[in-house]
Each structure stands twice: as C-alpha cells, then as structure tokens.
C-alpha cells in the first residue's frame, strides 16, 4: 500500500472522528493551520467530584499518516500539576503507547494503543486520569506524594490551575455545567391544544346523568329487568 493511500486513510478517518466529536460539549476542537493532522483542543472537565472540575485545558494532539495503526501524541499547553503529567505537558498514559505488549513496563496489549481506539477514547482516558491519578508510576513525583499525603493541598493546587485555565475559554464558547442534555422547551400553544382536545374527548356522546339513572333503574342488581317474570324460565 502506497504512503499516499495510507495518508488519505488517516485524514478521512480523522475528519469523521472530528465531526462526531464536535457534537460533544466537553471538548472544543480547532485545527492548526487547517491541518487535520494537528488538533488544538479545549478539554473541559465536567465532573463535580473532580479536583479539576470546571477547567478548560488547552492541549494539542498530533497524528501521523500511519494513524490509526500508530497512536497520536497528546500534550497539555498549560502547566498541569498532576502525578501523571510531565512538566512539558506530556502524559504518562498507557493508551498512547505503541501497540503490543511491553514486558518491561508490564503493560498488556489491551492497555496500549490499538487501531480500534480513537481520539474520543484517548480524550476520555485523559479525563479519567485527571480525576483518578496513577500514583505508582508517576511522571511528577512531588504531585504524586502530595496527592497521597496531603489531599487538601493537592485540591487547592488543582483549583488554582482551574482558575488560570478559564482565562483560555474563547469568548464565543459556552462552558457546559453538565453533560445532561437540556429538556426541550414546552410550547404554550401545544398545552392549550392538549386541554381543548381533552375536553372534547371527555364527551363520548352518552346521555346526561339523569338519563343514565333512569336507564339503570330498569335493571336490578343482577343485571336483569325488574319486570321480568320468573315464569320465563319455565
């Protein structure tokens, strides 16, 4: 397979993935110089239990013509004090490691990159890592120790980073406060039509109450006519 066909396949898949991700509220995507192989992201944390809740974290993902057979790279563009983030912004995360089992690190092939993965799975893994650090193999030892031994101080540091990150929110971007879609607005005209139809449907064309009582008086409790004779059975 020629390199041009490989590159075309990568770009086509990335365009498809980008169009799907643009429907999500927790990520904002731009292309660097309209290059589909370079994504500039705003990754939004919408988890009230996260130390980084409310953050708008600028990041960049780069891809090669071998995508999706080779993983992309991911790098935060602002300093993130986190056990698994290197000072230059790169992540220590298994899903971005080349495919196959790594005996040295002990990572199984299922934990690492595969062509079945995609941009969304990477970004969701990054968000999960922000909320739940892996402190046994830290990229930032100081952050790992603080997270383990002094959680209030770690959370305070995270909140400071969140506040700084919010300065990068584009003026025309609306930050989500929840991932739940809002309920569709109710139309007052529809409500009026509903009640009008309900009033009409309640009239089934039956007789008035007085007529119903007169009809029922002709039947006894067994549902037989009062004037019926027992001799009818003979």
Mean pLDDT of the chain: 81
pLDDT tens, 152-180? 999 999 999 999 999 999 999 999 877 65
54 shares its domain with 84 = yes
Does residue 179 fall inside a structural domain? no
Closest CA to 88 of 139, 54, 42: 139
Average pLDDT of the residues in 183-205: 49
Q: Each residue of 55-97: pLDDT tens digit? A: 999 999 999 999 999 999 999 999 999 999 999 999 989 999 8
The Cα–Cα gap between 142 and 65 comes to 37
Domain containing 195 equals: 188-233
Higher pLDDT, 99 or 135: 135
Q: Is the dihedral of CA 65, 68, 71, 74 positive or negative?
A: positive
Q: Does 22 reside within a domain?
A: yes
143 and 49 co-located in one domain: yes
Contact 74, 58 (CB under 8 A): no
* Same domain, residue pair 134 and 201: no
pLDDT at position 183: 46
The domain that holds 51 is classified in CATH as 3.10.110.10
Q: 156 with 198, same domain?
A: no
* Torsion of Cα atoms, 83 then 57 then 36 then 126, to 10°: 40
- What is the pTM assigned to this prediction? 0.71
Number of domains in the chain: 2
Residues 116 and 214 in one domain: no
Is residue 137 a part of any domain in this protein?
yes
Whether 207 and 159 share a structural domain = no
Please indicate, yes or no, if residue 177 is contained in any of the structural domains: no
Quick check: is 180 in a domain? no
Q: What does the pLDDT read at residue 196?
A: 52
The pLDDT of residue 113 is above 80: yes
Q: How far is it, in rounded angstroms, from Cα 111 to Cα 99?
A: 9
Given pLDDT bands bounded at 50, 70 and 90, which one contains residue 3?
very low
Enumerate the active-site residues: 92
Flag whether pLDDT at 233 surpasses 70: no
């Amino acid at each position: 397979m020629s390199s041009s066909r490989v590159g075309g396949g990568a770009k086509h898949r990335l365009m498809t993935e980008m169009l799907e991700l643009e429907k999500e509220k927790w990520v904002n995507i731009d292309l660097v110089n309209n290059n589909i192989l370079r994504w500039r992201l705003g990754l939004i944390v919408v988890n009230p239990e996260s130390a980084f809740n409310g953050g708008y974290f600028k990041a960049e993902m780069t891809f090669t013509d071998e995508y999706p057979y080779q993983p992309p790279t991911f790098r935060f563009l602002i300093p993130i004090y986190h056990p698994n983030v290197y000072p230059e912004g790169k992540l220590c995360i298994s899903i971005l490691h080349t495919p196959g089992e790594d005996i040295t690190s002990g990572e199984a092939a299922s934990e690492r990159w595969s062509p079945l993965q995609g941009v969304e799975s990477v970004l969701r893994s990054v968000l999960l890592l922000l909320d739940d650090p892996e402190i046994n193999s830290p990229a930032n030892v100081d952050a790992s120790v603080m997270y383990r031994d002094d959680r209030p101080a770690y959370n305070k540091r995270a909140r400071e980073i969140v506040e700084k990150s919010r300065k990068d929110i584009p003026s025309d971007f609306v930050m989500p406060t929840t991932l739940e879609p809002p309920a569709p607005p109710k139309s007052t005209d529809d409500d009026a039509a509903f009640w009008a139809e309900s009033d009409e449907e309640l009239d089934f064309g039956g007789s008035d109450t007085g007529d119903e009582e007169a009809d029922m008086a002709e039947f006894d409790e067994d549902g037989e006519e009062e004037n019926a004779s027992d001799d009818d059975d003979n």
